[in-house]
Each structure stands twice: as C-alpha cells, then as structure tokens.
C-alpha cells in the first residue's frame, strides 16, 4: 500500500575561501599588499565537500512514505481483484464440471429413449407394418377387440410419454450446452482479469521495492520512525475520540477461537494471494481464522464487507473484522483493548497494531 519514485533532492555545496590581508607590524609605513592567498581545497568544519549529497529532510522522507503507502495500497486493491477472480474461477470450473456430468447423463438418457422408440418401431414392423389401431379394427373377436382397445390406449400414452421425454431431454441437453458455453466465456474473462490483477500487483510491489532500495540504511531507519509516528498519531486521535469508552460488547466463543488462530500466526510473512499455513495476505488471514472457528467467511476484504453483518464500531468485540479504506481494500481482526492483528503488506509479517492506525470504513461480524 505505498508508491512512487524517490523524491530526494540533492543540493551541491560550494566552498567559500577567505582572502587574508596582512598589515605590517609596528611601522610608520604601510607594507605592500600581499598577493591573494590561493583557494583552500580543504572543506571547512561546517560546510560539506563539493558533490556531497545533502541528507534528505523529514519532509522528503514523508513524501517517500506517502508514495510507498500509495503503491502498496494499489497492490492491495489488485490483490483483492486477483483473489476474487480466483474464487470465481473455482466456482465456474465446478459449474462446468456439473454441467458436463448432466450432459453425459442426458445423452445416455436420450440413447435409451431412442432405443425404446426403435423397439416400438420393430414391434410394429413384425405386426405387418400396421399400427395397433388398424390391427384392432380388423379383429373379428369381440373380446380381443375389447382387450386390444386397452392396449392401444396404453400404447398411445406410452408413445406420447416417450415423445415428451425425448423432446425434454433434447431441450435439456441444448440448455446444458448453452450454460456450459456461457460459463466457459466467464471463465476466460476471469482468467484475463486475474492475469491483469497479477501483473498490476507485481508492478506496484516492484516499484515500491525499488524505491525502498534507493534509501540508505539511516534513511530507512528515519523512514521507519516516520511511519511509527504517523501510526501513533492516528491511533492517539482515534483513542481520544472516546471510542473505547463506548465499547461494552463481550466476545463470543467463536470469536475467541478466531483470535487465537490469528494471533498464533504472528511473525509469518505477508504474501499476496496466500491463505496459509506459512504466509498470508490480509483477508487470507481473517478468512482462515474464522474457518478454524467453524464459520467460513468470504475470501476477500471487499466480499467480507459486502456480505457479513455490519456492526457499529462502539459495539465491536474481539473476533470482529475492521475494514479499512473507502474501497475496503484491507481488513484486520479486532482483538480487544483498541488493537488488531493483521497481515500488513509485502515485506512485513503478521503483527499486532492499533486499530485506529488506518482509516476505518466499518466493522463486520462473522459467525452466528
């Protein structure tokens, strides 16, 4: 969730040399003015040598921090899109497999119906090619006529049923084929969306890593300090709002299980698209935590925001999920006392931080 190229401004320093004028000591006549001293090549104690870059100011590093935030945020949005495309692809693949099974079963049924129709035709051929009604009319035996009329009615009903079943089966097969074709098109569109999201993720992360790699060790340390200050400021502002004073909800058994799972993953690296057990992205961690508690939830932070029950911030309890940013691109699990556990971004590990360190969109509650 951060971005850009390094905006560090290098200013060349100039060395100013003094010209000393010597006066003659204790004489009535002025001494001749000596020639100017040659310029000194040694830097002064307070002026850096020519060509030495000026260390970036906190303002410059703050610009770097915001750019990194922007890049990693874009990567997080793309990660959600990738995960969503992957989920859809799994469902569409399952639908295609189910349709294929229906098509196979339908063809087998149609073959059986055709066999029955063929058997009826062969029976009619053995009867001289005359239909049952004609053979009945030619009968001289009244009892045979009465018995035969029942058989004719049964035969007519059977023929109509056979025709209806054959027609319906053919229609079903046509529909299955159309549905399968539509699912294949969706699957292909999803594949392209997934590939585009993956490309964007890699581009944004690579750009962020390149930006960070251009910083010296001390600059990275200063940048980390700026990040800590920004997080502390945001958390303090959130706490000063009195939000914790209003929270009175008690946790649930499911919530405790989910929190236990999530906190036990601390220290494991962030990896986009990962659902464990060794690496996680933000929604991979929360979805697996609640799955371990016996309540499966949607895979992505945006789906979690859209599909789970919304609760007021002042009513949240441990195990609830806090959704961040207006686009619902990040999610963390509330663990109590104003803190959350989450998988932050590439290059970081699952950790605990203040719940108010990022812009809160809202809170959702998994489970019953």
Active site residues: 282, 330, 342
* Tokens matching residue 96: 């295609």
End-to-end Cα distance, the chain: 32
Of 366, 365, 344, 368, residue with least CA distance to 354: 344
* Tokens matching residue 224: 């980390």
The label of the residue with tokens 């209003």 reads 246
Answer whether 215's CB lies under 8 Å from 64's CB. yes
**Which class for 204: exposed (0-12), middle (13-18), buried (19 or more C-beta within 10 A)?**
buried
Rounded CA gap, 200 and 72, in Å? 11
**C-alpha 360 chain-centroid distance:** 18
Question: DSSP per residue over 198-262, as a string?
Answer: HHHHHHHHHHHHHHHHTS-HHHHHHHHHHHHHHHHHHHHHHHHTTHHHH--PPP-HHHHHHHHHH
**C-alpha 248 chain-centroid distance:** 32
Length of the chain: 368
Answer whether 265's CB lies under 8 Å from 285's CB. yes
Answer whether 88's CB lies under 8 Å from 190's CB. yes
**Residue 323, beta-bridge partner list:** 331, 362
Q: Which H or E run contains 282?
A: helix 282-292
What Rg do the C-alpha atoms of the chain give, in angstroms? 39
């Amino acid at each position: 969730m951060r971005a850009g190229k390094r905006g560090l401004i290098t200013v060349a320093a100039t060395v100013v040399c003094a010209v000393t004028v010597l006066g003659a000591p204790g004489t009535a006549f002025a001494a001749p003015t000596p020639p100017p001293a040659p310029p000194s090549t040694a830097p002064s104690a307070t002026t850096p040598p020519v060509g030495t870059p000026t260390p970036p100011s906190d303002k410059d590093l703050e610009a770097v921090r915001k750019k990194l935030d922007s890049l990693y945020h874009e990567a997080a949005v793309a990660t959600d899109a990738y995960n969503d495309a992957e989920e859809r692809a799994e469902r569409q693949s399952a639908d295609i497999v189910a349709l294929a099974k229906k098509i196979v079963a339908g063809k087998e049924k149609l073959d059986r119906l055709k066999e029955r129709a063929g058997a009826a035709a062969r029976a009619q051929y053995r009867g001289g090619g005359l239909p049952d009604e004609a053979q009945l009319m030619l009968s001289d035996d009244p009892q045979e006529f009465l018995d035969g009329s029942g058989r004719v009615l049964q035969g007519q009903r059977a023929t109509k049923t056979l025709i209806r079943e054959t027609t319906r089966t053919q229609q079903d097969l046509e529909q299955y084929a159309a549905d399968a074709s539509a699912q294949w098109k969706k699957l292909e569109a999803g594949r392209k969306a997934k590939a585009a999201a993956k490309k964007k993720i890699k581009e944004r992360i690579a750009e962020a890593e390149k930006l960070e790699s251009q910083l010296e060790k001390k600059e990275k340390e200063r940048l980390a300090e700026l990040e800590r200050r920004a997080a502390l400021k945001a958390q303090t502002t959130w706490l000063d709002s009195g939000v914790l004073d209003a929270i009175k909800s008690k946790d649930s058994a499911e919530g405790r299980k989910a929190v236990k799972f999530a906190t036990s993953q601390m220290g494991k690296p962030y990896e986009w698209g990962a659902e464990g057990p060794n690496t996680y992205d933000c929604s991979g961690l929360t979805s697996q935590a609640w799955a371990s508690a016996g309540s499966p939830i949607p895979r992505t932070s945006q789906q979690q925001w859209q599909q789970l029950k919304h609760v007021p911030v002042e009513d949240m309890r441990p195990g609830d999920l806090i959704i961040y940013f207006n686009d619902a691109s990040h999610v963390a699990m509330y663990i109590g006392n104003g803190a959350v556990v989450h998988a932050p971004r590439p290059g970081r590990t699952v950790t605990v931080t203040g719940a108010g360190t990022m812009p809160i969109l809202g809170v959702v509650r998994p489970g019953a």
